[in-house]
Amino acid sequence: MYLINKSRNLREKHGVWYQPVPYTRQRVSQDCISTACEYFTKDELECSRQSPNKKDVISVVRHGEKTLVTKRFMTRSIREAFRIYKERNPDSSIGLTKFYSLRPRWVKCSPQQEVCVCVYSANYELYVAAVENASNSKIDASGLIAAFLCTPASDHCFLGECDKCPKGESLTLETLNISEEEDIVVATWESGDLVKKTLDPSAFLRGLRLSLATWIVHNHIRKTQEAAIHNEKKCEQRGSLVFHFDFAENWTVILPDEVQSYHWHKTQVSIFTCVVTTRKNSHSFVVGSGDVCHDSAHACLALEKIRLWVDDNLPLYS
């Protein structure tokens, strides 16, 4: 009856062809949507990463045209990414359901194993997971890190050079809600192997403090280097060049027709990769060599070859 009466009132006041204004509880601004989408698509926010496989693309429609977009894989759960988003944007009206719906098609939640992780980061995450399993509760990683640093923390604190830092003294079995009578199971990477150990609470607490202290220093250096590389690649000055290079894994030479004994004497080729960034664009280079020794002399020779090409083909480094 409510809808019938409402329809009659609208017809009497506005006519037969009137369309009522759609009801919405709370509109979300376009700025909030754009900011939330960045947590799926930006490397700097550390919630997703781009696939290293150049063929790993998906076709999407943008502005009425089909285009190929490289897939990205979430490095955090969407719920965790949403928590980080709300911590940095507390006034945003976007909820978890809306945040889920903003995930682009080319951002996948279940990545394939395509990259190697750092042993310090892996052991840190494994210890945090062991704490959560032992305490049957969700652990705030920022609280664990804060137990090792001053407030506010300086570079000396993050590098472990400050004598005033608490060094994790507040991390006890009681504060972590871990029983003193039960052993704790933890897995760690040691010499390339994943080792599963059962430790008494005291030994586990010592291992946790050591793993956290090591990871804090490593993570600070990694983020500082990442920010420095990002700033250098902006190339704001005219004529500036940035060489970003490293050795890739060696490639094995496989012949289509080979004798059986060649299998035991296969030749390897070293791959030296470099990206030269100018103010307008970037250029990728690969230098192959039969010398598989990844030393400074090899790198200097490869960079000299690239520099000669740049001098001949990029006048004024425009």
Q: Examine the domain organization and report whether 218 and 171 are in the same domain.
A: yes
Q: In this predicted model, what pLDDT tens digit does every residue of 251-297 receive, in sequence order?
A: 887 777 777 777 677 788 898 999 888 877 888 899 988 888 888 88
214 in any annotated domain: yes
Q: Comparing 69-73, 104-108, 154-158, 255-259, which segment has the lowest mean pLDDT?
A: 255-259
Among 108, 133, 154, the domain boundary falls at 108
10 in any annotated domain: no
Average pLDDT over residues 212-227: 88
Contact 103, 97 (CB under 8 A): no
Q: Examine the domain organization and report whether 220 and 292 are in the same domain.
A: no
Q: 131-136, long-range: CB within 8 Å, 24+ apart, which pairs? A: 131/176, 131/178, 131/208, 133/185, 134/176, 134/178, 134/179, 134/182, 134/184, 134/204, 135/176, 135/177, 135/178, 136/177
What does the alpha-carbon distance between residue 50 and residue 73 come to, in Å, rounded to a whole number? Answer: 6
Q: Examine the domain organization and report whether 216 and 301 are in the same domain.
A: no
11 in any annotated domain: no
The most confident of the ranges 62-66, 97-101, 258-262 is 97-101
Stated pTM of the model: 0.57
191 in any annotated domain: yes
Could you tell me the pLDDT band of residue 82, with boundaries at 50, 70 and 90?
very high
State the chain's mean pLDDT as an integer. Answer: 84
More confident residue, 245 or 239: 245
Q: Examine the domain organization and report whether 207 and 130 are in the same domain.
A: yes
Which tokens belong to 157? 């604190």
Q: Examine the domain organization and report whether 290 and 196 are in the same domain.
A: no
6 in any annotated domain: no
Q: Examine the domain organization and report whether 147 and 165 are in the same domain.
A: yes
138 in any annotated domain: yes
Domain with 192, as residue range(s), is 119-232
138 C-beta neighbours (distance < 10 Å), count: 7
How many domains does one find in the chain? 3
